[in-house]
Amino acid sequence: MHCRHENPVVYELELSGDLLRLNDCVGGKITIEYLHQIECIHCGRKINKSFNQGYCYPCFSSLAQCDMCIMSPEKCHFHLGTCREPEWGLSHCMKPHIVYLSNTSGAKVGITRESQLPTRWIDQGALQALPILRVSKRYYSGLIEIAFKKHLSDRTNWRTMLKNEVEPVDLYRVFNSCWPAVASELDDEVTDDMEIIATEDGSQNFQYPALRYPNKIVSFNLDKTPKLEGQLDAIKGQYLILDNGVINIRKFAGYLVSITV
């Protein structure tokens, strides 16, 4: 799903080159039917099973964007000359990255390319987000995140996020309370590179298109339930929230589906 930061967030679903504005569908019936065909989102080959949210196994095994260091940036091995795709690494990992705090199901730390803001926060279903540090490459942001994780979570409780049971947090205050301890654990190579960008009024807030949020979470899986029908009650993160269950759209990237609204 494509998203745009407005009030509320605007969602569009790309289907065979066309864009369906999902905000207009909230409150109406929606039917999603899996047509039992999957195509790799990178090479387009037809596959029986996808890996890493949409890739065939050869692409999953060979692409830099599917390597372990994408999930664990502190394991970057570009400097060792073993990057799967050095040109991709230069264009994606050797670019300015932001370390941020967000409030998804409580305060958490995260990282992303600067060019991915605020999309990254919306994809996580954040209610608030505060950029705190800028560094020149992904590797450094990973090292900083590791230091923060000793004091803050880097995970979202997705059920709490989808129920919208989230209280506001003063993210700037959270940053100030953690930063002295975090800074003491970073070496000079990292601290010489980074720039502190956190400000007291720098937090962004997000609202999502919703009639209501669920009290109980039932998760749909297209492999097990190929046809879903229900009223679209809300959209948050990468989830469609129906009155009878939720579905993570990104999880099923590459699946051929029919959607009726």
How many domains are there within the chain?
2
**Is 27 a member of any domain?**
yes
Task: Verify that 111 and 200 share a domain, yes or no.
Answer: yes
**Is 62 a member of any domain?**
no
> What is d(CA 105, CA 156) in angstroms, rounded to the nearest whole number?
6
Task: Verify that 149 and 228 share a domain, yes or no.
Answer: no
Average pLDDT rounded to a whole number, residues 103-129: 98
Task: Verify that 121 and 150 share a domain, yes or no.
Answer: yes
Which tens digit of pLDDT belongs to each residue from 117-155?
A: 999 999 999 999 999 999 999 999 999 999 999 999 999
Task: Verify that 239 and 187 share a domain, yes or no.
Answer: no
Helix (H) or strand (E) holding 176: helix 171-184
Domain, as residue range, for 138:
67-205
93 and 78 Cβ atoms separated by less than 8 Å: yes
Task: Verify that 180 and 240 share a domain, yes or no.
Answer: no
pLDDT at 95: 97
Asked if pLDDT for residue 16 goes beyond 80, the answer is no
In the listed set 205, 225, 247, which residue is the last one of a domain according to the structure?
A: 205
Task: Verify that 162 and 77 share a domain, yes or no.
Answer: yes
**Is 61 a member of any domain?**
no
Which tens digit of pLDDT belongs to each residue from 46-55?
A: 999 999 999 9
pLDDT at 199: 98
**Is 23 a member of any domain?**
yes
In 3D, which of 71, 189, 208 has the Cα closest to residue 128? 208
pLDDT at 218: 97
